[in-house]
Structure 1
Amino acid sequence: MTDTQQQSPQARATARIIAPVRHGLTQAGALAVLAGLIWPAQAACIAWVISGWAAGDTALGRTALGAGLFALGGLLRAALDARAGALLFEAADRTIARERAALIEREIRAPGPESSAAVAALAVQKLPMLQPWITRYHVAMTRTRVLPLVFLVLAFSQSWAVGLVLLVAGPLIPLFMALVGMAAEQASRRQLDEIGGMNDMLMDRLSALLDLRLLGAADRAAQDFRDRAEALRDRTMAVLRIAFLSSTVLELFAALGVAMVAVFVGFSLLGEIGFGTWGGQMTLAQGLFLLLIAPEYFQPLRDLAAAWHDRAAGISVVAELDALDAADRVALIGTGAATAPLDGPLSVDLHGAAALPGRAVPLPSLQLRAGEALALTGPSGVGKTTTLAAVAGLVPLAEGRVMVCGQPLDADTADAWRARLAWLPQVPHFPDVTLADFLDPRGTGADPWAALDLVQARHIVDRLPDGLETRLGESGGGVSGGEARRLMLARAVASGGDLILADEPTADLDSETAAQIVAALTGLRDQGRTLLVATHDPALAKALDREIAL
């Protein structure tokens, strides 16, 4: 067992999240402590001015000097807090961006057993929960280590009785905070598990929505989703209940401590209490100073108590990241780097079974030569899309082989082979770039109109308000489903790929639009392109040269 594995979850989380940005957090903590140390000077200014008023000194100079020093302290505190906040949020943004980039890149290159919904929930919903931990907890802990001790020394310097009250009341807050924190961490972990489970269920139901409607199970699916949403609500409320309960308890101790100081100071100034100071009667200036610093003595402890829940949530997120790191993975073939296309006449020979994380999917044996158009048909789940992915080198094989251009498809040939491919996904996706850039995936600067004409899509671009400078929404806002498919097909043509892999290109389209897509695909075949198409559409399968039923 390695030293890292022997560490506690808290130590591993700190090493992973806090250690890389500790320098910035230390700077922010120091600035926050300096800002907190200004308050006693401001409190002394207020006590000095008010005690002068009580003594009959109403000169404007004393008041103006006190007010000026107080305002100067306030501006300095604001500047220090602003700089500390900038350092903290910069560290949080950098940490979240680093973890998200590592997570996404690893899942792309070496998928694990977690579903895409669970990974998306972790990247989008859970990783941002690290921000409060980074921006609040470390600074709160730093302030708690310094400021209460300073305020306690200042309180003892004026009144041993007030110092004793603070000394007794203060430690009760971190004691109860630690007790409540253990329950908060468990509740946060259960909440995160429910978020991931709900995302898994949502993606599963959406992918099977058509089947659910055909089977009359839509109401049951909706009820299942309501049940999971209610379970998530319950677990979220459990976290909030713990947070509110702990906050109530801690605020109670802080309020009692401040109230006891106020009562003691009040009766001392009235002359009812003659003890508690280091000699003589308590003055008004002393009493005001003690009343002003007493709440600030508890404030760092209260901030730490609030940030404790953020820490618990952050550690739960890191535990999930660690579990995902340790999961068994199957790396994709190749590096994904741009390279020259693979030499040789185009050919595909597939034999064997593609291995997916957790299960093996049998694939058909097939042979495909340049200029041919082959349809893969069969019910959902039999491996049509997996076959396309295996031919593209995106799914490693458990056994058997894939030969491309007369060579084995392996780490040495995968990137060069993919340079000869064009992919037409089942669901159109448009990145946030102009259509001109979208239709030039390899960045060659070639004229896209030839590809648009080949798939009969020129009129689609012509009617867009900005033509080739248009930016469509992620799912193709502004164009119909069939038009989006034809734009995707134009992109595949413009990429120059010899082999076009098309996954359900006519799915969910009306008969007229589907016929247009079929005509565009057969036109590409007539132009010399090779097609491998996964489809449920009998008309499309019939229009191609051969069909393999899985």
Structure 2
Amino acid sequence: MTDQTQRKRRPVSPAEAALRRLAAPIAPALRRAGWLSAVSECLWAGQAAVAALAIGGLVSGQAVLSPVAAALVFLALAAVRAGLDALAGRLAQRAANRLVADVRLQLTSAAARQTPRADRPAPAELASLAAEKAVMLAPWAARYQPAMTRARIVPVVLLALTAYFSWAAAIVLFVAGPLIPVFMALVGMAAKEASERQMSEIGSLNVLLADRIAAIADLRLLGAEARAGADLATASDGLHQRTMKVLAVAFLSSTVLELFSALGVAMVAVYVGFALLGEIRFGAWGGPLSVEAGIFLLMIAPEFFQPLRDLAAAWHDRVSAQAVAEEIGEAQRAIAASGTILGHGAAAEPLPPAPFGWRGLTVRPGPEAPPLHFPDAVVAPGGALGIKGPSGAGKTTLLAALGGLIRAESGEIRWGDVVLDDGTADRIRAGIGWLPQTPRFIDAPLSEALTLGRPGDLAAALRAARAEDIIAALPGGLSARLGDLGGGVSGGEARRLMIARAHHAGARLILADEPTADLDPDTADAVLAGLMTLRDTGAALIVASHDPRVLAAMEQVLEIAPHGTDTEAEAAQ
């Protein structure tokens, strides 16, 4: 393509460009669907011609086509049109479903590799975007795109057929037709703004709802349930008002369209009527308008406006899809800017046991935060390294970097002779058991949440983690679903279940973040015993903790001073 051609191309808005990028994989299918639906609409001209010949023959007494033959041809063309419409609809709907599925996969895949230090998009915003808003792309693909193709082809074909019989009727259609897109564009400006405000309100309501649900226990303790309910009611009313404004704009555009299309059809009907009565003697080529031509024009005039009516009906779908596409683009840019974890998140074979250590490590806990410098350390298979330091010193940041969840600014992390990088992270992580301070569970039966589909002896893992009594107390046992945050079990019980998961996976390195925090002494002892059992199997332990009992159980302790200043590792007594 030459530079001159590029300069002549119509400029595209950022929202439209974002929508086209998302829809690029399904563009060929949408074009096929649009052309099939356009051919179907154009076949109406054939049906109209057959009907006009039959009726005109009956009126004049000189039948060119018998009523029976005309009926058979009319029905055959109707069957062909129905088949083409069904095929076009199926193609468009499949393409729409694929678009939604692809967008959801892109968002969730990118978010799954997003670094833990990222602060946006918020989980509730991302969930709303992938679950609710992405669906709004489907009507644009299934309805608007085929309607746009029909609007570009069918009116031109029917206008040419009209002009063949009557230049006067063609002028009426030529003048009335363009008025519809003009007013659609004017209404579309208001619709875009209203739709963008509605999308923003949906995201805000989801964030607010997720925040209030997460804090429901605190709200009850503070007696703030009524205030929280009032906030949700206010946000819900705001969304209702935005939605009603969007609907008002949609009805306005439909009303404008119906007005101009009705006027155009009425003017053609008036012209044909007076021409057949002999009151108007101009407008046809080379003589008066025939009955057959008049009936034909009356039958195709409404069809001239039908693609434009379909386009107007789907115009709001385009506006909504553009708003969603722009928001998806912003979310993808935010995810990319926040950084990604090392590796690709793919399944991999774990590396054989080997010493694990780091040297000259510098990590930035946040995009704008100063870098933290960590002292060097090595832990051998079956060894135990404790990490202590005041809150904010960077213990959690260090663990995240060791797991490849945060990219180091400098230095290196090694599993034996293998350096942690994008090419090796998946294999290194496959041998790591991660015990966060707040355990998380997938939405599945507990047996699946603990095994993650891997074979092995789950009963033995539960015994090693001292978690058998937890399963026995749960309604449904291993069939129970705990939810994301482990609803139905205490914090200590959730951590013991995480230890059981590490046992079952045969993890060779355990990264534990404050495993006994906020636990009573008996529960803390059970968690610590589960960790020590993991070490006895040959797994290396790296445990960040404030708990003196945990640190005393470690073979060596690495102290991190405030702001990541280096200190020496000290041997635990």
TM bracket (short chain): 0.7 to 0.9
Partner of 1:82: 86
| CA pair 525-292 structure 1, distance change in 2 beyond 3 A | same
Q: Is the 8 A contact 1:173 1:301 kept in 2?
A: yes
Q: Deviations over 1:335-390 (max 9, x none)?
A: 445243364346789986652345569799898965659698999x9977656534
Equivalent residue, structure 2, for 1:139: 146
Determine if contact 2:358/2:412 at 8 Å carries over to the other structure. no
Partner of 2:500: 490
Contact 1:342–1:416 (8 Å) recurs in 2: no
C-alpha contact (below 8 Å) 2:355/2:415 kept by paired residues: no
| Distance in 1, Cα, partners of 2:503 & 2:237 | 48
| 1:12 lines up with 2:23 in the alignment | no
The answer for the alignment partner of 2:341 in structure 1 is 332
1:42-101 per-residue CA deviation (whole Å, 9 max, x = no partner) reads 122233334455567999x93332222222112111211222222223333333333333
Task: Report the CA distance between 1:174 and its aligned residue.
Answer: 0.9
| Other structure's SS at 2:434 match | strand
Provide, for residues 405-460 of structure 1, a one-character-per-residue CA deviation record: whole Å limited to 9, x for no partner: 7998655764454233223453542355893x6544473x3333321333455688
Tell me the residue number matched to 1:223: 230
CA-based RMSD of the aligned residues comes to: 4.5
C-alpha offsets along residues 235-272 of structure 1, whole Å, 9 cap, x if unaligned? 22222222211111111101111122233334444555
The percent identity for this pair of structures is 43
Residue 48 of structure 1 aligns to which amino acid in structure 2? Answer: L
TM-score w.r.t. the length of structure 1 is 0.79
1:186, 1:238 → 2: CA distance? 10
Change (3 A) 1:128 1:376: farther
CA displacement 1:300-319 (0-9 Å, x = unmatched) = 11222233332222222332
Q: Report SS of the residue matched to 1:171.
A: helix
Contact 2:176 2:264 in 1 (8 A): yes
Q: d(CA) in 2 for partners of 1:99 and 1:372? A: 44
Please state whether the residue corresponding to 2:350 is helix, strand or coil. Answer: coil
Instruction: Show structure 2 runs of 5+ residues with no match.
Output: 1-5, 563-573
- Tell me the amino acid that sits aligned with residue 159 of structure 1: S
Larger displacement relative to structure 2 (394-403 or 305-314): 394-403
CA contact (8 A) 1:162 1:276 kept: yes
Q: What is the Cα deviation at residue 179 of structure 1?
A: 1.7
Matches of 1:64 and 1:459, distance apart in 2: 83
1:115-158 superposed Cα distances (whole Å, 9 cap, x missing partner): 22222222222222222222333322222222112211222233
Asked if residue 450 in structure 1 is aligned to residue 455 in structure 2, the reply is no
Q: What are the residue-to-residue correspondences of 1:303-342 with 2, within 5 Å?
A: 303-327=310-334, 328-337=337-346, 338-341=348-351
CA contact (8 A) 1:442 1:495 kept: no
Residue matched to 2:244? 237
Q: CA deviation at 1:40?
A: 0.9
Q: Could you tell me which residue of structure 2 aligns to residue 249 of structure 1? A: 256
Cα 1:420–1:399 shift into 2, 3 Å: same
Report the AA paired with residue 191 of structure 1.
Answer: Q
How far apart are residue 11 of structure 1 and its match? 6.0
2:489 is aligned with what amino acid?
G
Which stretch has the larger CA shift, 29-38 or 400-409?
400-409
- Match in the other structure for 2:432: 421
The separation in 2 between residues aligned to 1:289 and 1:307, in whole angstroms, is: 28
Tell me the TM-score normalised to structure 2 length: 0.76
Question: In structure 2, the residue corresponding to 1:394 is in which secondary structure?
Answer: coil
* Aligned equivalents of 1:367, 1:208: Cα separation in 2: 39
Letter aligned with residue 501 of structure 2: R
* Aligned position for 2:133: 126
| Segment of structure 1 superposing worse, 455-464 or 515-524 | 455-464
Specify the SS of the correspondent of 2:365.
strand
* Secondary structure, counterpart of 2:433 in structure 1: strand
- Work out whether 1:430 is the aligned partner of 2:435: no
Give the 3 Å change call, closer, same or farther, for CA 504–201 of structure 1 in structure 2: farther
| In structure 1, distance between residues paired with 2:226 and 2:272 | 67
Give the conservation status (yes or no) of the 8 Å contact 2:53–2:63. Answer: no
Q: For structure 1, which segment, 82-91 or 242-251, has the greater mean C-alpha deviation from structure 2 after superposition?
A: 82-91
Matched residue SS, 1:423: strand
Q: How many Å separate the matches in 2 of 1:8 and 1:186?
A: 14
Deviation string 1:502-540 (CA, Å, 9 cap, x unpaired) is: 56879999x8xx96786365244245266667899x9x9
Structure 2 SS opposite 1:355: coil
Change (3 A) 1:150 1:249: same
CA distance in 2, matches of 1:280, 1:411: 80
Q: Which of 92, 97, 101 lines up with 1:93 in the alignment?
A: 97
